[in-house]
A and B are shown apart, each in its own frame.
Chain A
Amino acid sequence: MIGFTAPWALPGLAAAAIPLLLHLFARRVPPTVVFPATRYLAETARAHHRRLTLQHWLLLLVRTLLIAALVLAAAGPTLPSAGLATHAPAALTLIVDNSLSSAAIAGGTPVLDGLRRAARSILSAAHPDDRLWLLSADPTPRPGTPQQLAAQLAELTPSELRLDLGQAVALARQAMAGQPLRSTIVVLSDLQRTAVTATTGTGPIVVVRPGDGSVPNLGLAGLTAGRQPWGPEGGRVSATIAGSEQKTSALSIRVGTRPPRQQLVTANATFSAASGVLGPGWWTVRAELEPDELRLDDVRVNAVRVAAAARAGWRSEDRFLATACDVLLQSGRLVRGSELSIGWLGNASSIVLPPDDPATLGALNRSLASRGVTWHYGDLVPGSGVLDSGATLGRHQILRRYRLVPGAPNSGAPHGILLTAAGEPWAVLSGNVILLGSRLEPAWTDLPVSAEFVPFVDYLANRAVRGEVALLDVAPGDPAMLPDAATAVSHDGSVHEVEGGSRFRTRNSGLYFILSRRDTIGVIAVNPDPRESILERASDAEIRRLWPGASVVSPDAAAGAALSAGGRADLRGPFLVLAAVLGLADAMLAGIGARRAARRGA
């Protein structure tokens, strides 16, 4: 079907009606000339009327066609035609998938090499009038000439980034939007099923399917260390394997400098290993599979924080709280001491409950204010409420609570809302003080009589009051939200200052420790996206279902298909030739009268 590179010019076709409209409506009453020899004119008209009428209509037709041909030429008509030596100027975005999976060795060479060859063949067939973009796993579409893009292509290496092809196609369409040429997207990818996703917009897509099939692979999909900080007794590290089901591989997990634990694993299996007793501090965890066709997903790293049990004091009159603390004492999660006051506002870290006697509330608020705590207790809120911070606790009933009222936060000190009830703060942190809105008694809440109570007290005593350890696990290129207290990020000995609460993004795998001044308050474990380990390819049917109208071709046919999809036969030339011929015909037809007049004049 005929297409146009500048369809906005097509309304100009209405101008083709101008000669006809002039003929029909612009005819004015001619002046009357007294002419004695009218009998000769009448005789002439009778003899030549048909010829001249035909000539007039022919002239009208020629002029109409001339305008139409010029307008159509301006609209840049194109015609689909495969295998053309030349093509109309086209907009072409090459999506070259250099994501982690492109490093897989297939047939002795990296998959990316094959994709690069196919991309080069397309660039070599392009000409300077084409508008070209190159989009890789970056993913930033980069415009350039065929030569410039070929140079960029040569420097392209497998990246640890993941490339969502659906999003990449949408991004490419966005890049080409607004330019007048016919747009085509060429996807050069290993076509992982997990990467082929639905996209938005319409337009021709040429998918170049690599010649070799997918290769078997096993990769580390996850490495977790459970809730932290660990106590001195250590904890367990779990590694998850992804990839080809029929394949097995040897997995080793090492915590710090401890001897590695090894295990034969298969896809979708989870291997857990105990760390043993560890000293306080940060420990790196490294899981590694034996090398296979895709090396970049064979290693995964993480970090754990080991902290000593909180040295806390509690009062026996807080019956339910004291019982929970005794349980934690027996399990080693708490040690008797004075570093933490559980139930009242002490001199050091404190977990503060509201007083049973409302009369003492004012004194407590004044003490809080003098300690620099930015929250204080407000009115007693009667009636029921539900804890609605499900990530930390279940939905427990709150029967009575004091409203927690915020003040101006101290800069630098950790602060924030830990839990909410009925949409209002119920547990808040300000510096090293946690305020709870309710007393931990059945008359105030059903939490003390639930199974979650002891872990909740452990959470408050060992993690929340010390400031939550930020353990972020992201893929390369994905953003990680830094804690508010973060001031810098450290990686391999180099320190980069950051703004607390901002997003941190890196393209390289590894451990990035989050610093708050001198303290390490968390870690960002950057590891490959586990979906990159699944090399199974999407079928042609799946591709066409997700990208309607897409054509799937082999690398050898990439150039022809790309240019025949978007680089259609340029019809501007033929239309201009037609316009020239019509112009000539017009001049000849119109010139007949002029020549007659000239001869008469001579």
Chain B
Amino acid sequence: MPAAAVFPATPRLDLLDPAEVARLGGLEVITEGIVEGFLAGLHRSPRRGFFVEFAEHRMYQPGDEPRYLDWRLLARSDRLYVKQFEEETNLRAMLVLDTSRSMDWSGSPDERLTKRAYAECLVAALALVLLRQRDATGLLTFDAEVRRVVAPRARHSQWHLLLRELQATPRGGGTAAEPALRRVVEQLRRRGLVVFVSDLLFDPPLALTALRFLRHRGHQVLVLHVMDPEEVELRGPAEARYEDPETGEAVVLRPADWAEAYARTVRTAVAEWRAACRRRGIAYERVTTDTPFGLALRQALVRSTGLA
């Protein structure tokens, strides 16, 4: 089924399955690292942020800084209390979605979403989760070039904005991940979370360089590798001419003869991506389009907690 049928032109409020959203409501995106942010949230910050919230009072002890004395309470009760603040900051997350032509494909259109449709659902769900946590969430879509950029915000209308931008992103062409990732740097001036959703069907070195650059800037990076099941296990007619929708490269072969070798190649490619990401401190998760969203999100977010 083409993506247009899955996502009609009207705002797609039904983009997320409520049941899936409900299942995701209990999840928390918990990162181990400390992310700078302006909004207070569940994430601890190693330095002072934009917002400082009162946490509790305690009795003054010698050595406490006098400036934290609650003078009003002292005036009312004549006791020395020190105000304690818990400095909290919200996460600034940037969701980067590959909308290239290779994403607009499904091995079984009647049964499964295209990779792009699936990825859009995933991104939207992830954005909702993040926004519910009051994390500022932004979006960047790209194919051969950067198509749409939504700066990270935590306001209520942000999620709907993201949805509109997702749907407004035109059908893509080739893939150029590296410029898109560099553009993310401009959007995340403080350390934050970058979720890179793509089928990774491009040359890895430049993309990995950009991802490593993001890591160097202190961002947590999660790569969600979206694959159609038939990209994992080769199927098809007795003999077929397989053509790359982006490059036009074609290969004629018999799937029955090549399936095993192909599967090995795919496993190797995935393993290489996983190893390359691990070396760079990047979380990597492979999801196939037949995986339930909730499960995929859960796996992705759990993996993201392991970020350094």
Contact = CB atoms under 8 A, between A and B. Distances in A.
Interface of A: 29-45, 47-48, 52, 55-56, 592-594, 596-597, 599-600
A30 B255 CA distance: 12
B243 A37 contact: no
Contact of A31 (B231, B237, B261): B237
Interface in B132-187: none
User: Which of A43, A47, A594 gathers most chain B CB within 10 Å?
Assistant: A43
B260 interface: yes
A12 B308 CA distance: 73
B261 A48 contact: yes
Nearest to B231: A37
A38 B249 contact: yes
A32 B235 contact: no
15 contacts: A32-B242, A36-B101, A36-B199, A36-B201, A37-B231, A37-B266, A41-B253, A41-B258, A44-B258, A44-B261, A44-B264, A44-B265, A45-B253, A592-B257, A596-B256
A599 B260 contact: yes
A52 B246 contact: no
A39 B201 contact: yes
Give the one of A38, A47, A55 with max B CB within 10 A.
A38
A596 B199 contact: no
Contacts of A34: 105, 243, 245
B250 interface: yes
Given A33-B243, A35-B244, A36-B231, A41 B262 contact: yes
A40 B269 contact: yes
A72 to B, nearest CB: 30
Contact of A33 (B199, B241, B260, B266): B241
B74 interface: no
Contacts of A45: 251, 253, 258
A32 to B, nearest CB: 5
A26 to B, nearest CB: 12
Contacts of B19: none
B199 to A, nearest CB: 6
A597 B233 CA distance: 9
A55 B269 CA distance: 25
Contacts of A48: 258, 261
Nearest to A51: B261
Nearest to B252: A30
Contact of B242 (A35, A52, A56, A597): A35
User: Which are the 7 A-B pairs with shortest beta-carbon distances?
Assistant: A36-B102, A38-B244, A593-B256, A35-B242, A596-B260, A30-B239, A37-B231
B259 interface: yes
Contact of B263 (A36, A38, A593, A600): A600
A55 B258 CA distance: 12
A100 B59 CA distance: 150
B240 A32 contact: yes
A600 B249 CA distance: 25
Contacts of B259: 593, 596-597, 600
B236 interface: yes
B234 interface: yes
Nearest to A55: B257
Most chain B C-beta atoms within 10 Å of own C-beta, residue among A29, A33, A47, A599: A33
Contacts of B280: none
Given A48-B258, A600-B259, A36 B253 contact: no
Contact of A594 (B243, B256, B263): B256
Contacts of B258: 41, 44-45, 48, 52
A41 B234 contact: yes
A contacts with B: majority SS = helix
B254 interface: yes
Given A29-B241, A592-B257, 13 more contacts: A31-B237, A33-B243, A34-B243, A34-B245, A35-B242, A36-B115, A36-B201, A38-B244, A39-B244, A39-B249, A41-B265, A56-B257, A593-B254
B246 A47 contact: no
A363 to B, nearest CB: 109
Contacts of B256: 593-594, 596-597
Interface string B100-137: 01110100000000010000000000000000000000
B246 A41 contact: no
Nearest to A595: B260
Contacts of B245: 34-36
A157 to B, nearest CB: 75
B251 A52 contact: no
Contacts of B236: 33
Contacts of A31: 237, 240-241
B237 A40 contact: no
Nearest to B175: A36
Contacts of B265: 40-41, 43-44, 47
B262 A32 contact: no
Contacts of B101: 36
A63 to B, nearest CB: 15
Nearest to B232: A37
B14 to A, nearest CB: 27
Contacts of A30: 237, 239-241, 252
A563 B261 CA distance: 57
A223 B98 CA distance: 124
B250 A38 contact: yes
B251 A38 contact: yes
A41 B243 CA distance: 10
Contacts of B253: 41, 45
Contacts of A37: 199, 201, 227, 231, 266
A373 B254 CA distance: 102
Nearest to A590: B256
A43 B251 CA distance: 10
A44 B257 contact: no
Given A41-B234, A41-B251, A32 B260 contact: no
Interface in B267-285: 269
A29 B250 CA distance: 13
A55 B260 CA distance: 14
Contacts of B260: 596, 599-600
Contacts of B201: 36-37, 39
A592 B256 CA distance: 9
B266 A40 contact: yes
A252 to B, nearest CB: 99
A283 B249 CA distance: 116
B257 A593 contact: yes
A42 B250 CA distance: 8
Contacts of A41: 234, 242, 251, 253, 258, 262, 265
Contact of A36 (B244, B261, B262): B244
Given A45-B251, A593-B256, A40 B262 contact: yes
Contacts of B105: 34-36
B251 A42 contact: yes
Given A38-B250, A40-B265, A599-B260, A32 B231 contact: no
A565 B294 CA distance: 84
A56 B264 CA distance: 20
A543 B110 CA distance: 87
Contacts of A593: 254, 256-257, 259
A167 to B, nearest CB: 65
Contacts of B246: 36
A545 B18 CA distance: 106
Contacts of B239: 30
A151 B237 CA distance: 69
Kindly name the residue among A48, A596, A597 whose own CB sees the greatest number of chain B CB atoms within 10 A: A596
A578 B274 CA distance: 50
Nearest to A59: B257
A37 B105 CA distance: 10
A37 B254 CA distance: 15
A600 B242 contact: no
A30 B250 CA distance: 12
B235 A52 contact: no
B232 to A, nearest CB: 9
A597 B234 CA distance: 9
A346 to B, nearest CB: 110
